[in-house]
Copies of this chain bind each other. A is one copy, B any other.
Amino acid sequence: MRRTFKRLLSLAAAVGLVSSAAVAQSELEKIMKERGLTQDDILAAAKTYTPSGGRDKYIVFSSGGQSGQIMVYGVPSMRILKFIGVFTPEPWQGWGYDDDTKKVLKEGWYRGKPITWGDTHHPAISETNGVYDGKWLAINDKANPRIAIIDLKDFVTKQIVVNPVFKSDHGGAFFTPNSEYILEACQYGAPFDNEYHPMEEYADVYRGGVTCWKFDHENGRVIKDESFVIEMPPYMQDLSDAGKEMSYGWGFTNSFNSELYTGGIEKGLPPFEAGMSRNDTDYLHVYNWRKLAELAKDPKNVKVINGIKVIPIEVAVKNDCLFLIPEPKSPHGVDVSPDGRYIVVCGKLDTHATVYDFKKIMEAVKNHDFAGKDPYGIPIIDMKKAMHCQAELGLGPLHNQYGPKWKTEGEIYTSLYVDSQVVKWDYLTCEVKDRVNVNYNIGHLCGMEGKTEDPQGEYIIALNKLAIDRFNPIGPLHPQNHQLIDISGKKMKLLYDMPVPLGEPHQAVAIRASKLHPEVRYPMGTNPFTGKVHEGKTLAGQEKIVRKGNHVYVYGTLVRSHINPEHVTVNKGDIVTFYLTNLERAEDETHGFTVDWYNVHASLEPGKTVAVTFKADREGVFPYYCTEFCSALHLEMMGYLLVKDPNKKYKSVKKIKLKKMSKEQLMKEYKKTVALNEATKKVIQSVVKFLKENHYEKYPVVKQLVEDAMDQFNKVPAEEKKAEEALKKGDIETAINFQYQAWQYLVKTADVGIRAKDLLVRKLATPMSEAAKRGEAAFAEGGCNGCHVIGKVSSGPDLVGVLKRHENGEKWVAEFIKNPASKYNDPYVKAMIDYFNLRMPNQHMSDQEIKDIIEYLKWVDENANLF
């Protein structure tokens, strides 16, 4: 504690006291004053701010709520990296706008009708030995009970599975410790069949349950035929958790309508909320999924309903696989401790968290020591006999996450909805340790791998349901507020408020970024949804248009900056399929594709092949184009779909007379383009020389960029050859355009090459002294860089080597900066004045500044080879 206190004092010195007393004019103090920031704010800023190119330590996958998507963000920067299209079409990703993604979404339709949204609730990361392995992500749709699987290699949804017996699903998805199964609990009780049954038969016919989806961990797909449902009473099952270590093989699911209340406000009865919150306790469901999975293999033990195996309650009970334990009023979270021994349940209408001991539960099971049976015949274990301890936490406790000191200190964090707090406590002793206010009304909370066997430290995220006054107002619909909390000290500290701009995230899971290994490109011609070569894979030179009956197949390619083919003519009524392959290998060089007014869109990451199919049922001229700003010429990356009515006669129209160039004028232009290309090549060669000499191949990102540049450069000879051939045939116009095409490739080579060079320079340059750094700043602040660009002749001479250009160079330059006019008659300076038609002005630099600038110029000369 003494150490901590000392640190606090020294912080005050570094940030506050010193700047306010000793160095009153400090820049930091000025900003703090202007922006009303406290010392704590500066510390929080320092703990979260991530400079350009910086990496986050954790990646969070948050459900998108009613957006139907998944939100991905980094911790501690709290910057959102991607919304992944899951249950709702999303055109940027082509999700639901090209053929292959439409197929995945269609898997999620039910009883023949399209479902175009979802209410995502609980994301889950696949596990190996109870620890996140970073391979797959699963998430449920509460509204239309479904599970989706996302591949963490490319962050793309690969499968959607419909639950054919549930009508609602709040409490999915939860992986078992080796991803054998994904648990998905039913929520609102309803008949398992698809028939009408009146509310009066709620207890009799309506049912709840837990579906155990068999998961192919290797290939990341749910195997429907090997999955099964555990039938349960319509107690409105809520969240689940899978046991681990000593409780491995068991599942735990809570519920909130043990009253079996059926509402009726329109009939003058109390509403659901009243009747469902009447009992002091509801039921924790404890079941042996491992044994049930074995039982489900025998057809005698299951009923098949709507194509899925259902294990009836009586079968589960008979085989000692299903038990109930009372749990506090209307519970929300059920969270198994990292060692699998304790199960912590919070009742949202109770002030306590209850800690159950799995050993005690098993003791009761073993001894058949039950307090009775529920109306469905399920044995009830006495709550007190199963309990380890209870902690009084406050109003509205909901969910729990474990901290890294779970073993020694029982470290656990719980969200309090009504009190708007996060409480830190010890689940071994049920003592409260600390609490922090959040804004406002927290639902779930997200620890760093906080529900695995290996919880990490440092942060907890509060997923608050109300923002109210936290952000700039943007109309009646507010963002949610995810608040980052520092848990690394004894006292929790609020670090950052992140508004959620889309959807109402329900729960989030965080994983160490180091466990993720996403790819940057697909093997050429891949269909990401099969992982195999796409039927429409097309390489450069293989482009073609094939008609089969009234179906026209276009095999096309995209590369900076053209689509091949550029004209496609079809008949009205034809079905048209565009197969398109992005030939790029460069990271982040995505192309897009759309045909105007035909409501299709595809995102083509490097190497991917997509298909878009539509009926060309409207006559006319429809531009298609690349929808990504992929190069300086992206607007020119386009083509035309022409849809002809085969039953119509068209008259030719020619009215505009275009001016034609003479042969001499054309030849002049041709030569000009050839000269331009030669000049551009020289620039490229100098860059290439620089890159080679400096061993670019040692730096992976630079190497990648150089490969990309060379991809472009290697296309040049073919275009030049085409130009020469056209010239031989006397078609100078076409020859010119092919030379321009060669130039386009040269420009793209230069674009990427320069980026590679700049990156390499930064990697190679010698470190700057503090004086040189100050000098660089003074050089900029003094406006020197308005005329002098290091490494280039700009509005003034290049200053690389300037110190060696003159005798006593340092002195000469210092004098010249101090008093430029004194040297206007120096022959060299005179020549420069003539050349640039500008005189070096007096910028009134101080002696110290001039000294520093000289240091900077020395550094420039040290690194002269890099400019």
Contacts and interface: CB of A to CB of B under 8 A. Distances in A.
Interface stretch (A245-253, A623-631, A800-808, A810-818): A623-631
Nearest to A595: B143
B618 A734 contact: no
Interface string A19-30: 100111111111
A751 interface: yes
A866 interface: no
Given A26-B10, A490-B783, A513-B472, A273 B53 contact: no
A432 B45 contact: no
A722 B271 CA distance: 12
Given A1-B849, A7-B25, A657-B375, A476 B567 contact: no
B13 A14 contact: no
A362 interface: no
A93 interface: yes
Contacts of A740: 270, 274-275, 277-278
Nearest to A622: B167
Interface in A160-176: 167-168, 170
A565 B170 CA distance: 22
Interface string A493-511: 0101111011110100000
Interface string A227-257: 0000000001010000000000000000011
Q: Taking the full assembly, how many copies of this chain does it contain?
A: 2
A740 to B, nearest CB: 4
Contact of A46 (B31, B115, B432, B469): B31
A405 to B, nearest CB: 14
Contacts of A564: 265-266, 271
Nearest to A843: B1
A102 B13 CA distance: 60
A785 B266 CA distance: 48
Contacts of A191: 620-621
Given A82-B474, A266-B565, A658 B260 contact: yes
Interface stretch (A73-81, A315-323, A333-341, A820-828): A73-81
A300 interface: no
Interface residues of A, number: 277
A780 B701 CA distance: 47
B194 A330 contact: no
A440 interface: yes
Nearest to A439: B52
Given A472-B513, A499-B81, A638-B188, A194 B620 contact: yes
B737 A275 contact: yes
A131 interface: no
A546 interface: no
Interface string A467-481: 111111111111100
Interface in A780-796: 780-783, 785-787, 789, 794-795
A588 to B, nearest CB: 4
Interface in A434-465: 434-435, 437, 439-441, 443, 465
Interface in A41-78: 41-56, 59, 64-68, 71-74
Interface stretch (A196-204, A363-371, A573-581, A686-694): A196-204
A117 B599 contact: yes
A264 interface: yes
A596 interface: yes
A195 B619 contact: yes
24 contacts: A1-B778, A1-B845, A7-B25, A18-B23, A31-B47, A45-B46, A71-B501, A81-B501, A116-B599, A119-B601, A142-B627, A167-B622, A196-B643, A196-B648, A197-B653, A267-B567, A270-B741, A273-B636, A274-B737, A349-B747, A418-B754, A469-B587, A476-B605, A506-B629
Given A15-B26, A188-B640, 15 more contacts: A11-B28, A18-B18, A35-B47, A64-B92, A79-B497, A111-B618, A117-B601, A196-B645, A204-B656, A263-B638, A265-B565, A272-B562, A468-B701, A473-B516, A491-B777
